[in-house]
Amino acid sequence: MNLAFHTLALIGRFQDPRVAEAMTALAAHAQSRGLTVLVDDAASLPVTAPVKRLPEAQLAARAQLLVSVGGDGTLLHTARLATGIDVPLLGINRGRLGFLADISASEMLERFDDVLQGRFSEDRRHLLQARIVANGQADRVMQALNDVALQKCETGRMLDFETWIDGCFVNSHGGDGMVIATPTGSTAYALSCGGPILTPHLDALVLAPISPHTLSDRPIVIDRRCLVEIKPVAQAPMRAQVTCDGLVFGDLPMDGRLVIEPIEAMVRLLHPPGYDYYRILRSKLHWGRGVRVGQTDL
């Protein structure tokens, strides 16, 4: 068999029995195809054939393919491991929604063989870069595939802050915060804030206020190459926290600002034959179900 990949790394929360079962089956299947399988040296998988165990931080640099087994959170974690390393990702869904990890466990081995034999499409998704700029402190930097979020923390009070785009004042806000999402992240936190769904390859961002006090404060869509700045307004003591893809990045001080800037770094996602973004939307969001008699179930 002429293979497109010869070394793969399996990444997942092996403590979850469903994930461990899928990882074990996939490892055995890959080894039967002659592949070298890498796993986190902390993973306790009952794999009969030998696997190579490495610290998780080294897996992306040693593999030709990263296979994320779990939900979208696991795939986001895998994407962070691949930051700065040109290695593709394949997602096996053992979570709930699975917008990113789009291969079901029931078809895992069949679809994996398709990818091994080069039958796949490649999907490149841009990352965001967030910086917390504070007087007298070195800038902190973090990247995100889905979104950067500013949220109130440990308080019942609203956050008061301003948004600026490319140096131009946009609006002042009162509410629980703001989500700045890529098209990839438009179906995540931003969607629950009333933001629109952006198709993956739009060069755009969504700015979606979280529980705004003013009902006219609506999500907006801007060019991906814009520089977005968020600045607290010092009206009362408050704690504002920044997260990137759900991970805590740090607090935004009252004299600081959050800068979201475009970068050219991308994540490479692989999809098996028949991948259809709109079918995934219909399936995960239950569009068109139970409304008309005789309709086709998606």
Tokens of 111: 């679809």
The partner residues of 279 in beta bridges, in order of sequence, read: none
Closest CA to 242 of 156, 165, 129, 137: 129
Cα separation, 106 vs 84, whole angstroms = 32
Q: Regarding beta strands 7-12 and 36-40, do their DSSP bridges make them parallel or antiparallel, or are they unpaired?
A: parallel
In contact, 281 and 287? CB cutoff 8 Å:
yes
CA dihedral 207, 277, 99, 68 (to 10 degrees): -120
Cα separation, 258 vs 207, whole angstroms = 13
Q: Which residues are catalytic?
A: 72
* Residue 18 CA: distances (Å) to CA of 24, 69, 102, 180: 10, 10, 16, 33
> CA 180, 181, 182, 183 torsion: positive or negative?
negative
253 in helix, strand or coil? coil
